[in-house]
Chains A and B, each alone.
Chain A
Amino acid sequence: MPEPLPDFEAGQAIAPTGAGGGTDLALTEAETLEGRPAPGPLGSGPGEKPRSLWSDAWRDLRRNPVFVVSGLIILFLVVISIWPSLIASGNPLQCDLAKAQEGSQPGHPFGFNGQGCDVYTRTVYGARASVTVGVCATLGVALLGSFLGGLAGFFGGTGDAVLSRVTDIFFGIPVLLGGLVLLSVVTSTTVWPVIGFMVLLGWPQISRIARGSVITVKQNDYVHAARALGASNTRMLLRHIAPNAVAPVIVVATIALGTYISLEATLSYLGVGLKPPTVSWGIDISAASPYIRNAPHMLLWPAGALAITVLAFIMLGDAVRDALDPKLR
């Protein structure tokens, strides 16, 4: 067999990297999506309007309570990321040391942190950094990864071989190690260096998935037909392959989003995450972690907010996967 398993490399796409050894492991489950023919845009029955995978999936999703709940949580998070002052009237940077570590009191439901800042205000304002990091890192990883992986899968040959080795290199380097090294030299206080780092070390995961997915789709009859009809490479990629190969990427990306948010907190714990005056859950969790005995409320609120956010994105990813994976219907 010259090509025993076209997606064999992709079969290794499990990219276990990250905090405590598994931040991005969610991706693996999507692996069950690979290696089987991606559902093509075929009509489902005579006389009926052809139902695409997408409209099917959407119909499923709307009826899935998991999707509805996680979607609502995410919508809420996005809204308060943009307009935190809607539900928090204070200033997250205004702190009064005299109130340090104090617990819940009227007007300050979550109490105060070690610097005497209002924990409620900081928890609300912290959503922006986490959501920005999650969304931007995922977009960056998905775009870069599917671009490179898609091209490699479509054209094959030397470029593909080189890319496969490059992804191997990135997989071999522990993510936290890369973060400690690269982010310790950063002086910027914005979220961009952290996002850039995640894209730099995260794209190979998506690239493998995209590559495997494109290789599978490429072998479908309708692609051969398009080629026979003289479609250009660009047209084939954009019109025929991309729409059908993108499902696994979306599934993996949605689940990964949550893990990027979690990774930001871990980086902060190691002292290389976001920097003040940026307000982030990671910064607050890491600052509060030594106080776990004496003032647990300082840790629990931002950690709880973070966990709920990650949970919401992972549940969303789950729901999307169930909807896009016809085999599980």
Chain B
Amino acid sequence: MGRYVIRRLLQMIPVFFGATLLIFLMVNVMGDPIQGLCGQRQCDPATAARLRQEFGLDKPVWQQYLTYMGNVFTGDFGTAFNGQPVTELMADAFPVTLRLTLVAIFFEIVIGITLGVLTGLRRGRPVDTSVLLLTLVVISVPTFVTGLLLQFLLGVEWGIIKPAVSPAATLDELIVPGLVLASVSLAYVTRLTRTAIAENARADYVRTARAKGLPRRRIVTRHLLRNSLIPVVTFIGADIGALMGGAIVTERIFNIHGVGYQLYQGIVRQNTQTVVGFVTILVLIFLIANLLVDLLYAVLDPRIRYA
């Protein structure tokens, strides 16, 4: 187990450098950001040259990357064009997105798994068919359309929620945005659970348990659910990283000042330091979440042992 974890951690090193390099190069392809800072005017050449120097843009790309990575290891993620340290931006943005992600995961687990179990146990019945159809519809409509519709209906027409989230972004304000963010994944969790439950419901051990005369509730929670949850847990774990990085659309619609918003701003302003900094953290979260999921595997399924 220990050796396995160490091996996985070692594997993260090249992935970490590869991902940061890739995103660094991608943002560089976008070109020189300085002209964007001077409004509708041409920057005067002296100021432009100074600004380039200030942000290290006067050096070759490989040197910029090495300098940047060197700084990252000392905890310095650079500064945004408005003079704010990127670490400060992160300190503001990550807690907000983390809350949003937690709300989304909560919905995935509660609604997704519940519906999945419900339909899995009633395969082919009307309730199964209608939930299945509903999940398909949720998957088919792009998230931004779902988000705009909910914002319009709940926020403006019926006045149930605030259409925009305040800068404080408290949990209660994040319920609807979290639901929107979770919607597609939620549909997948439902379908995944349904498939797994339906498969396992015909397994020998369930038949044995039933033959033993165990109450149905116990069969479902102790035997069926535990074994059916493995693919679901994998999915949700891997989803954490994706939700945090994929919130660009949801955060834009509901005016949430989180990671997606900062990334969007960083890209629009072509600020390499912001974008690379945030993506670096996202990649780390993604890798660690994956590792944790793999370890959770072993807990859920005792047959799996990591050497």
Binding site for B on A (CB under 8 A): 1-2, 4-5, 8, 11-12, 14-23, 25-26, 28-29, 31-32, 164-166, 168-169, 171-178, 180-182, 184-185, 258-259, 262, 265-266, 269-270, 285, 289, 292-293, 299, 303, 306-308, 310-311, 314-315, 327-328
The docked-state distance in angstroms from the alpha carbon of A16 to that of B198 is: 23
Chain A residues in 8 Å Cβ range of B290 = 12
B92 at the interface (CB under 8 A from A): no
The CA of A188 and the CA of B146, in the complex, are separated in Å by: 30
Q: Are B234 and A289 in contact (CB under 8 A)?
A: no
Chain A residues positioned under 8 Å from B184 (CB to CB): 19-23, 25
Known: A169-B15, A182-B26. A308 touches B140 (CB 8 A): yes
Closest residue of A by beta carbon distance from B263? A177
Q: How many A-B residue pairs have CB under 8 A?
A: 217
B window 119-152: CB within 8 A of A: 136-137, 139-149, 152
CA distance A31 to B283 in the complex (A): 23
Interface size on B, residues (CB 8 A): 73
Annotate B267-288 by CB proximity to A: 1 below 8 A, 0 otherwise. 1000000010001001100110
The smallest C-beta distance from A129 to any residue of chain B, in angstroms, reads: 15
Inter-chain contacts of A172 with B (CB < 8 A): 15, 19, 241, 279, 282-283, 286-287
Q: Find the B residue at minimum CB distance from A8.
A: B294
Contacts of B283 in A (CB 8 A): 169, 172-173
Residues in B with CB closer than 8 Å to A31 are 231, 234
Residues of chain A within 8 A (CB-CB) of B18 are 165-166, 169
B192 adjacent to A292 (CB under 8 Å) = no
Interface of A is mostly: helix
**Does any Cβ of A come within 8 Å of B86's Cβ?**
no
Q: How far is the CB of A169 from chain B (nearest CB, A)?
A: 4
Measured between C-beta atoms, what is the minimum distance from A192 to chain B in Å? 17
- A14 nearest in chain B by CB position: B238
Contacts of B297 in A (CB 8 A): 11
> Is there an interface contact between B199 and A328, defined as CB atoms closer than 8 Å?
yes
- B: residues with CB less than 8 A from A are 11, 14-15, 18-19, 22-23, 26-27, 29-31, 104, 136-137, 139-149, 152, 156, 180-185, 188, 191-192, 195-196, 198-199, 231, 234-235, 238-239, 241-243, 245-250, 252, 263-264, 267, 275, 279, 282-283, 286-287, 290, 293-294, 297, 304-307
A301 to chain B, nearest CB (A): 12
Task: Say yes or no: B245 contacts A303, CB within 8 Å.
Answer: no
With contact pairs A1-B305, A21-B181, A22-B184 given, residues A169 and B19 touching in the complex (Cβ less than 8 Å): yes
A259 to B242, CA, bound (A): 15
Q: List 5 A-B contacts (CB under 8 A).
A: A4-B305, A21-B104, A180-B267, A182-B29, A262-B142
Contact B143 A266 (CB under 8 A): yes
